[in-house]
């Protein structure tokens, strides 16, 4: 059986920590973990025609991730985010007017979309209309049965109701955190307890599944016919950067494998807990996790 074709579309950048820089961006992190879990993973983004961009291509090659859909932008620099950590939890200063703000939808991306089994996208890369106008036709060009995962990733003020609503109407899976649900509750007048709000979101946008993460307190998965509530896996946290992306990657692979909802939830929490126990967003997953 061939490996599923999975796309992470949006930002690719350098996370600049006090101790140095690390490759990041939610779509790249997602792609990296999907590849470790057995997918043919393709990051779709743009980098500058600069040393930072060249270094990203070298790292992608070392990670066996293809770069043919990482466009080169001669007019804008490779993206950077200044990251500070407090008790392992990151805060971000995301620089604007960078290469991934200007992804172009072309025939290569149309062809890739047509053969994709799943794609993951967020709100951050849609802060600029140029990239938003690449992401939307990409999703529209995918097969109707493919997974279109909106991992919302609200950052700074780089989102609004229009971006969120247009994304939800294109998605069939939503992944959000306990910090992000109040924003959606405000945008869409969601009342009641958390489960009621998640069920309402699922119904409003005809979503196949809503995944709600609570940091160290685990996650809640909600479909039309089932729910799975996992309390989380205790771990010694080094930093939480990329943990949510690894959760989404594991969720995606589990759905493509048609695993039971409870098993998907266990696996996703296991992977996210491991990532929290390591420095950086894209550690190598141990064999007992990738083979589970």
CATH number of 198's domain: 3.40.1190.20
Domain-located, residue 290: no
Domain-located, residue 148: yes
Look at the chain and report how many structural domains it folds into: 1
Domain-located, residue 291: no
Q: Which domain holds residue 268?
A: 5-284
Domain-located, residue 292: no
Q: What is the DSSP letter of 156?
A: T
Domain-located, residue 216: yes
Instruction: Return the number of other C-beta atoms located less than 10 Å from residue 124's C-beta.
Output: 26
pLDDT tens, per residue, the chain with 292 residues: 689 999 999 999 998 888 888 898 999 999 999 999 999 999 999 999 999 999 999 999 999 999 999 999 999 999 999 888 777 677 888 999 999 999 999 999 999 999 999 999 999 999 999 999 999 999 999 999 999 999 999 988 999 999 999 999 999 999 999 999 999 999 999 999 999 999 999 999 999 999 999 998 999 999 999 999 999 999 998 878 789 999 999 999 999 999 999 999 999 999 999 999 997 778 888 888 877 6
Domain-located, residue 36: yes
* Cα gap 250→267, rounded to integer Å: 7
For residue 252, give the nearest of 113, 116, 118 by alpha carbon: 118
Does the pTM of the predicted model rise above 0.75? Answer: yes
Domain-located, residue 180: yes
Q: What b/e readout covers 141-167, taking b as 16+ CB neighbours within 10 angstroms?
A: bbeeebbbbbbbbbbeebbeeebbeeb
Domain-located, residue 171: yes
Residue 42 Ramachandran class (φ > 0 left, ψ -120 to 50 alpha, else beta): beta
Using a 10 angstrom Cβ sphere, with 0-12 exposed, 13-18 middle and 19 or more buried, the burial of residue 261 is middle
* Cα gap 19→17, rounded to integer Å: 5
């Amino acid at each position: 059986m061939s490996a599923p074709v999975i796309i992470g579309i949006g930002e690719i950048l350098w996370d600049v920590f006090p101790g140095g820089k690390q490759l990041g961006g939610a779509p790249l992190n997602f792609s990296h973990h999907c590849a470790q879990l057995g997918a043919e993973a393709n990051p779709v983004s743009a980098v500058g025609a600069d040393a930072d961009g060249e270094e990203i291509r070298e790292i992608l090659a070392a990670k066996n991730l293809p770069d043919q859909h990482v466009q080169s932008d001669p007019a804008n620099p490779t993206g950077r985010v200044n990251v500070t950590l407090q008790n392992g939890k990151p805060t971000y200063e995301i620089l604007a007017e960078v290469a991934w703000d200007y992804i172009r939808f072309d025939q290569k991306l149309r062809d890739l979309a047509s053969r994709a089994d799943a794609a993951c996208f967020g709100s951050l890369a849609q802060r600029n209309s140029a990239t938003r106008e690449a992401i939307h036709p990409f999703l529209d060009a995918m097969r109707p049965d493919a997974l279109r995962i909106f991992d919302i990733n609200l950052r700074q003020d780089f989102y609004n109701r229009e971006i969120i609503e247009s994304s939800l109407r294109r998605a069939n899976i939503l992944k959000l955190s306990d910090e992000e649900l109040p924003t959606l509750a405000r945008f869409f007048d969601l009342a009641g307890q958390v489960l009621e709000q998640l069920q309402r979101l699922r119904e409003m946008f005809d979503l196949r599944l809503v995944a709600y993460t609570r940091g160290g307190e685990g996650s809640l998965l909600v479909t039309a016919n089932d729910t799975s509530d996992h309390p989380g896996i205790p771990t010694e946290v080094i930093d939480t950067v990329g943990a949510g992306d690894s959760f989404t990657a594991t969720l995606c692979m589990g759905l493509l494998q048609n695993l039971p909802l409870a098993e998907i939830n266990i696996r996703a929490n296991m992977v996210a807990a491991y990532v929290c126990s390591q420095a950086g967003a894209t550690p190598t997953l141990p064999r007992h996790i990738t083979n589970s």
